[in-house]
Structure 1
């Protein structure tokens, strides 16, 4: 008898295209996108620009590229970029603010992604002083990965962005999971994007497409971003087969994110136990903090893997579980049962791999940066 497929909660990036999405990809009309000839990509960019309320958009291979194009095109070399100290752009993009844009990243502590306007004011230096870096950009994130999929409230986002723009800074929003914030709150994407100068959104997370993100902003900004995309090797040819997956996701997978949010709440309610603290999720990310000293992250992840459930690390004493298109109600219940059994084994002192290694193979686990 074939064992059931693992319940994979490491990230919402592990989703596989549905049969209907594959049919849409196979039927896609294509052309050379570098020449601007791919009608499916053009339609996707047009739709996203309209959804976000911007003049234009550009399709890119990844959210990281979208974010870094925004940094590059909003700044000049030697400028300073303000970001949340726990943000994906600062923590999980390999120092690309410096490596690719030639800028200095200035991390600021936040309250669940909300940077205080006073902290922005304190960080902005006198632009007439030729001895200091020019502060030109603020980056925000919504929803916030490392804060457990937390939603930066619209009023808070608007206040922070106004404070930055009042000091002459551009504002970029890393909206890799902005779809989740929109569905959870009922607030339209264009309303979330209105206070900022650019937004990046992903298709390969909760929306279930195999690849791709989009950067939206003013027409002149997107023209610059398109040029740098080519310089960075991000210009793709007959990429309509991938854009078709994103278009299918826009039509069929956005509203269903509410199901992921409901399953995340069910997971959070069922995963609690001795030695752990589970945060109440706002969207589809569940954070599990290991409190008891004997609990070892590697032991717990290995015990889960043996029971057919995969979760991921998110810090030395924290585990992350993310619900998505490929996890149904039965999968969530399997994960809860496996976690309870694995937790008991880990508390009893089960055999431990090194906490920085994978559950069964000894390979290095990636940090939960996606």
Structure 2
């Protein structure tokens, strides 16, 4: 950094200058201010901001002069330790109070030129600002130093081992099929995808959307970041003018597990309906709850939103068609949360197109069951998808280089979808094993889920979770819901059944007798309760709710 040396001669020369007119002196001061500004830019000095000093001539005209504000500390030393400007040249005592800097007036003599006292005051202020660097200085960090601060390595030293352990945990996790992890083969395939910006155009993403539209028999499709986003954007796109309501099953994901999104995003009332058969909605359930007409006390039903599968159960297609026919006859839109519709197609041997035909819009998930890391797809008419794209941007769901995500979804459709038959077989084996032990099955394994109640053998969920977490290879369990996915191992199913059987036998030896009257089932427990073992300091496992 350079230095500016000011001698006493410089001070004296300023005192001896005879200004011809006050405007000349004003010009000189402005020149000096510009010079200081240039020095600041050249040497990266951030001098204190200038205040305006107002001068008055005898004829009443005003001239303003930029005078540096008082900042910093007197006698500041340079990096070499040499005093740039001695204290005597600009001491704090010589300067007026800072509050007066903006209102000080130049004192002009009888010839209309600045007085000596004004010159001395200006010199003191000028050299004070030169002598002391202010607190607001420009950063002296180099680009390399900033880059060092920004850089970050997210990979742990043992990340390969951590991932292997995580893969073993996933194979023994029964809380959801969303825990499935991308495989090395999926990563390799995704790396070949295009790198376009999907807000504008990405060929890989567009190709996936085209395929999904053809697969479902709809005109267009839109890639979404999540199933919740897909459902909520679909509802918002269908609803045009309030008031309105959305009818759905009381267990529906859109109603219970999307954070009240229907009310928040769309301002719609949700009408939850309990199926009279305990399994799925029928027209008998839907028709009385549908709000028609123009009674000002009620919000008309504009959408009927169904879910297939719902808690692993399959919605019979004939009942869907009956509800759809009724809805369309009254101008009501039909939306399907088909996050796990892949399981319906596999179990019923029905094409995806046929399953989607009764609906105006369908949401299909790539990360539930199929193993893609991210993504869902919304399908429907062209005008609907065009409007949905606008809402996707509005909701913050527009993404950039989505080709790698689209490629992962394509890989999942090609290689993971065929594995769902094995998943269903595992779920049925899980159900059969629980029944053999004596546990009550509250919802049968129609696809990938089993709901059970072990209280019929004197065991509760916490006991099962604690015993399962103490295994050499722990099991990760939720409440009453057991979810099997394509990465679930056969050994995990066997170990779970062994834990329940062992506990049931212990209860029996302790004197538990199964009552003649069946214990009233608690039905569906909260499916988003996670109980997982965590290692303690001494290396043992403890249960965490």
Secondary structure of residue in 2 paired with 1:309: coil
Secondary structure of residue in 2 paired with 1:68: helix
Alignment of 1:90-109 (within 5 A): 90-109=255-274
Matched, 1:72 2:264: no
User: Partners in 2 of 1:363 and 1:91 — Cα distance?
Assistant: 27
User: Partners in 2 of 1:30 and 1:152 — Cα distance?
Assistant: 39
Superposed CA deviations along residues 342-364 of structure 1, whole A, max 9, x for unmatched, are: 55568889xxxxx9773445998
Work out which of the residue numbers 213, 238, 253 in structure 2 matches 1:88: 253
Superposed CA deviations along residues 284-334 of structure 1, whole A, max 9, x for unmatched, are: 111112334953322222222222112212xxxxx1111112113333323
Q: Is the 8 A contact 1:299 1:346 kept in 2?
A: no
Q: Is the 8 A contact 2:477 2:532 kept in 1?
A: no
Greater mean deviation of Cα atoms: 107-116 or 69-78: 107-116
Residue 308 of structure 2: aligned partner: 142
C-alpha change, 1:90 and 1:364, in structure 2 (3 Å) is farther
Greater mean deviation of Cα atoms: 99-108 or 333-342: 333-342
Residue 496 of structure 2: aligned partner: 335
Greater mean deviation of Cα atoms: 10-19 or 296-305: 296-305
Please report the RMSD computed on the Cα atoms of aligned residues, expressed in angstroms.
Answer: 2.4
Work out which of the residue numbers 293, 315, 328 in structure 2 matches 1:127: 293
C-alpha change, 1:330 and 1:22, in structure 2 (3 Å) is same
Work out which of the residue numbers 447, 453, 471 in structure 2 matches 1:283: 447
**Structure 1 spans left out of the alignment, 5+ residues:** 314-318, 350-354, 366-370
**How many residue pairs are counted as aligned between the two chains?**
350
User: Partners in 2 of 1:320 and 1:348 — Cα distance?
Assistant: 27
**Structure 2 spans left out of the alignment, 5+ residues:** 1-163, 511-525, 535-541
Q: TM-score, normalised by structure 1?
A: 0.87
Residue 531 of structure 2: aligned partner: 358
Secondary structure of residue in 1 paired with 2:355: helix
Q: TM-score, normalised by structure 2?
A: 0.60
Residue 352 of structure 1: aligned partner: none
Q: Is the 8 A contact 1:124 1:167 kept in 2?
A: no
Greater mean deviation of Cα atoms: 258-267 or 68-77: 68-77
Matched, 1:28 2:193: yes
User: Partners in 1 of 2:457 and 2:307 — Cα distance?
Assistant: 32
Alignment of 1:146-295 (within 5 A): 149-272=312-435, 276-278=439-441, 279-292=443-456, 295=459
Residue 221 of structure 2: aligned partner: 57
Deviation, structure 1 residue 22 = 1.0
Matched, 1:17 2:176: no
User: Partners in 2 of 1:257 and 1:232 — Cα distance?
Assistant: 33
Q: Is the 8 A contact 1:58 1:216 kept in 2?
A: yes
C-alpha change, 1:106 and 1:326, in structure 2 (3 Å) is same
C-alpha change, 1:69 and 1:113, in structure 2 (3 Å) is farther
Deviation, structure 1 residue 274 = 5.5
C-alpha change, 1:294 and 1:269, in structure 2 (3 Å) is closer
C-alpha change, 1:79 and 1:18, in structure 2 (3 Å) is same
Residue 299 of structure 1: aligned partner: 463
Deviation, structure 1 residue 154 = 1.2
Q: Is the 8 A contact 1:137 1:171 kept in 2?
A: yes
